[in-house]
Chains A and B, each alone.
Chain A
């Protein structure tokens, strides 16, 4: 054996030579989820096109104006950063509410309480931002933390009901969503109002997040950090590992001596914290720096988050591109309304179809089998 051969042999056994393989394996592992998500989006867009055809709109025109939501092809310009920033502004709360759902799924829960926790977070943020005077650097921090804690508080009850009595979280969280709806409506009209009764008092300048462009604020950086933080928590820390194991295989977790209650509680609390932050991002944002007492500008983000989480494969990092996709979709509603006079609510229906299609992992396999 000569030296060259020896070195080559050693190299092939070392980690370095395995790295490309490891990387390729990772990419290969990513391929199926990507195809499934793309398939679901495709199905959603097809059904959207069918609905457009039924109501006598041109789907091709519709989807070209949908691209404008991402800042593409607006007024003869290939890419408009400003409009893309609006898509990112929509993506910020989506990212966070999706995280709520995803952390729930990882612990084996179907936590759809983001909607209500978001309302509570928004009310808390609005109160802290407009009615409490604090020094300028600290105020933003206080608003953020207070909103998160308020959101988490709203998640405590469904968590305890689940742990103590086994009340299914779909029922408890939906009931609490509606309670939060009326509670926050009351708070907005009687305790948070500013000059006008229909809108909450605008946040003090010290409490405002720095504006990046349009309605996009620096909260998006916090949201991204939270996504990465939750990823590190779930995949690199012991309690996160327990949480995932409880979700994957509760029996194994129990035999390993893990506390299922603690994992469920933790999942709910993280979800609540994150949803509260989503509320803060919506309540403290430009133009109004407050929210409508009808909650019209807060509604729907929690449920849309379910779709975002599913398309992002319930993975904190996967959620980020999924949220940007859904953000652009939401922003494109206004272009579609203007260009082809179709109601922007169509986007919501498309989101629903995408969720339905995400429930069908077997469908692709079925098609593949039939094709053979």
Chain B
């Protein structure tokens, strides 16, 4: 806590204020340098969406005591099958649904493994990631018989809406709304108490007559569905296609969001925006003509989306306690 006169500010709020001011100054400077800040905010919102969705799902998941580090794998699998669904069903919205269903399915399987088969959750999650890294290029070959890349035709994309800052995808608004809803559910409803009890003290929840296994299965499936929506958003509403490295570590950046947020969905949204903003900024600067002067600069800018989460997580770590039963399977006597 830092006290200025009679106003007491927590370090975190202060950090937000400082970063907000820094961003404003930075945007002003960029505007002077010829890079329109509208574009950066717009692409920042796009970059934020998969992170915010996956991180919110993971926050709820970890509140219930299950760690799923397989977000990257869910991204990879759902973004391909979502596009397949969109092309089969003939609409982008249907593709989004298919993608989140795929995510929910993977989350459900993960839930079965971690709740009932008492799997080592970190290993199982990493297995999902490795599976996704192999399965995406396999699916590209198996479905469209073309290696490494698939471009989606325009009629199958999710339509964008015109806003004052340019064309935005409707999913972006979902990604902003979902953490807020999740915050309300976790802190204001009985369901939230049940979820938190399953993570903090599963024995107590069990004694109180709640089914810990059902709660955890529910959160696993929900978290998977959110990550799946984030994944299919990338292919159908952001990049308008699939490449082999489409997720590019975003599943792990979402995990960094969760750690930064200390399992609060609202803070996860803020973290997602910061990381998305860093990414957008780096890419916007990388495509300005001046960036070509130093050969190292474009490559360094591509590293920025990974440097920023690492630095921010390092600074803000360990402020909030994680649930006590996190990562531990609950065995009923």
Chain A residues proximal to chain B, CB less than 8 Å:
51, 55, 110, 112, 161, 165-168, 170-172, 174-179, 182-183, 185-186, 189-190, 300, 303-304, 306-307, 310, 342-343, 345-363, 366
- A161 to B256 CA separation, bound complex (whole angstroms): 14
State the main secondary structure of chain A at its contact with B: helix
Q: Determine if A171 and B127 form an interchain contact, defined as CB atoms under 8 angstroms apart.
A: no
Chosen A-B contacts, 18 in total, with CB atoms closer than 8 Å, are A161-B314, A171-B256, A175-B252, A175-B306, A175-B310, A178-B305, A185-B299, A300-B133, A306-B130, A343-B137, A343-B140, A349-B135, A350-B134, A356-B127, A360-B113, A360-B117, A362-B118, A363-B119
Q: Determine if A352 and B137 form an interchain contact, defined as CB atoms under 8 angstroms apart.
A: no
Chain B, range 87-144, C-beta contacts under 8 Å to A: 113, 116-124, 126-138, 140-142
Check: B317 CB closer than 8 A to any chain A CB: yes
What are the 7 A-B residue pairs with the smallest beta carbon separation, nearest first? A348-B134, A352-B131, A356-B127, A355-B127, A343-B141, A352-B130, A359-B123
A349-B134 contact, Cβ under 8 Å, with A161-B314, A170-B69: yes
| Other 10 A-B pairs with CB < 8 A, given A304-B130, A345-B135 | A110-B122, A166-B318, A185-B299, A343-B142, A346-B134, A348-B130, A349-B135, A349-B138, A355-B127, A355-B131
Q: Which residue of B lies closest to A172 (CB)?
A: B310
Inter-chain residue pair count (beta carbon < 8 A)? 156
Q: Which residues of B contact A166 (CB under 8 A)?
A: 317-318
Q: Determine if A174 and B252 form an interchain contact, defined as CB atoms under 8 angstroms apart.
A: yes
Q: Which residues of A contact B318 (CB under 8 A)?
A: 165-166
A355-B306 contact, Cβ under 8 Å, with A167-B313, A170-B69: no
- Please encode chain B, from 300 to 327, with 1 for each CB lying within 8 Å of some chain A CB and 0 for all others: 1011011101100110011000000000
- A179 to B253 CA separation, bound complex (whole angstroms): 13
- A112 to B117 CA separation, bound complex (whole angstroms): 24
Number of chain B interface residues as a range: 35 or more
Q: Which residues of B contact A165 (CB under 8 A)?
A: 314, 317-318
Check: B259 CB closer than 8 A to any chain A CB: yes
Q: B144 to chain A: closest CB distance in Å?
A: 11
Q: Determine if B135 and A310 form an interchain contact, defined as CB atoms under 8 angstroms apart.
A: no
Q: Which residues of A contact B252 (CB under 8 A)?
A: 170-171, 174-175
Q: Which residues of B contact A167 (CB under 8 A)?
A: 310, 313-314, 317
Q: Determine if A182 and B126 form an interchain contact, defined as CB atoms under 8 angstroms apart.
A: no
Of B133, B147, B302, B310, the contact of A303 (CB 8 Å cutoff): B133
A355-B117 contact, Cβ under 8 Å, with A170-B255, A347-B134: no
Q: Which residues of B contact A357 (CB under 8 A)?
A: 127
Q: Which residues of A contact B190 (CB under 8 A)?
A: none
Q: Which residues of A contact B307 (CB under 8 A)?
A: 175, 179
Q: Determine if B306 and A356 form an interchain contact, defined as CB atoms under 8 angstroms apart.
A: no
A358-B130 contact, Cβ under 8 Å, with A171-B252, A179-B307: no
- A350 to B138 CA separation, bound complex (whole angstroms): 11
Q: Determine if B138 and A345 form an interchain contact, defined as CB atoms under 8 angstroms apart.
A: yes
Q: Which residues of B contact A183 (CB under 8 A)?
A: 299, 303
